[in-house]
Structure 1
Amino acid sequence: MEVKDSVAIVTGGASGLGEACVRNLVNRGAKVSILDFAEEKGQMVSSELGADVIFCMTDITDERNVQAAIDKTVESFGAIHIAVNCAGVGIPGKVLGKEGPMSMDHFNKVVQINLIGTMNVVRLAAEQMVKNQGNDDDEKGVMINTASVAAFDGQIGQAAYSASKAGIVGMTLPIAREFAEYGIRLMTIAPGIFNTPILAGLPENVKDALNKMIPFPKRLGKPDEFAGLVQHIIENPMLNGEVIRLDGALRMATK
């Protein structure tokens, strides 16, 4: 699918990996709708990038919220061809900690946002994409979800996070197979450690330690590198139903 003249929605597009995707797509001629809960930052990015970007205040776990954002995007730009799911949380917590068992509220919150929120966007965006005119391959849409290396190498304290991201990995192939008849591709990226705002406040010695964990290149990933892979997936029609680790050969230790 061509990025130029396409319409994309990007969840978590107000910062980090999502923001990098928004900027990449806009720079290549796409119109983009940012779906995010961070209203101030989302409005700021939207205003900076101009008329080709709108912001939709969105709780991805809420069906009506997501549907309203999709409707606003179609009303503004006419269609949706691309959906990039970057929204998520990484709240740590041990199953059995010093204060007792993990609360189910904690587990439910992480799974609700990361896994169920992603599925919510996928199913509602697909309903809109099937209305598109197909290209020469009869391709009508592309979806890219964000998992994590924690889906494969979860550390102590990441039970909820790993479960939520493993769910995203697990639904990649079955959804891609289901959507094939509609001309919609679905891929997942499992990033390693990236230099996002979440890590920006860490002390330099901690960042250095993180850098040394990565075999090569020995540094944190750059959000632009994630966005570059998203762009390539969009443009390469043979990429479908697969999970790509983007991690510099990182394999996480126990803790």
Structure 2
Amino acid sequence: MVHIVGAGPGDPELITVKGQRYLKEADVVIYAGSLVNPQLLDCCRSDAKILNSAHMTLPEVVAAVEEAEQTGKMTVRLHTGDPAIYGAIQEQMDAFEKRGIAYDVVPGVSSFLATAAALKQEYTLPGISQTVIITRQEGRTPVPEREKLRSLAAHQATMCIFLSITMLEDVVKELIAGGYEETTPIAIVQKASWPDQKIVRATLSTICEAIEGKGIDRTAMIVVSRCLGSDYELSRLYAPEFSHMFRKASK
């Protein structure tokens, strides 16, 4: 059996209870060494075989899993954040399917959610934004025309941009060209939930200058939204005059 486990954003305590249990029980652990906090490996058994997939190709990962399966061993494939978001797990699951290898997926806390926690910010404020767009700037991986930042910016929603910090100037240009005002608030959080977490707040017109010299060059989330600096309407959920199935309105 293979358990594809979301390791969470970095803080070892942000892995799920189930994910931690599988990690403690695993005979083989294949972890994304470029992103997963190595402290999580302290949960592993002393006799567990641990492989760093940062040095492996897809065929090598699949071969390691096949070898474990042939000897009746349980494998944890440990991915950063939540494996469903930019985790490259579909190709692995398809390979397991073809080989008749049983697997399941344990979700994890994504870095875009850890970023909200670091910013102490709700992404969906009434009257400001009720939509969160998870996306990335086009790089070596192409993006469909309708999903380019310039197109998505037209929605004026909260946007969480992965894997794009090294292309920040292009990101800013695309967002402004798509309709965001230059004064739109933007925040960059590097290594959300890690001890060395960094936060930089600015506007679209000032962010490139604001991060100079901050050493922010990877594992950073970009958040663009008016929710980062706006007045907003209060939620109707807790309004005294608002009735719902659990509470009658007070007069």
TM-score above 0.5, yes or no: no
Higher normalized helix content (fraction of residues): 1
Larger Rg: 2
TM-score class, shorter-chain normalisation, is 0.3 to 0.5
TM-score, length-normalised on structure 2? 0.35
TM-score normalized by structure 1?
A: 0.35
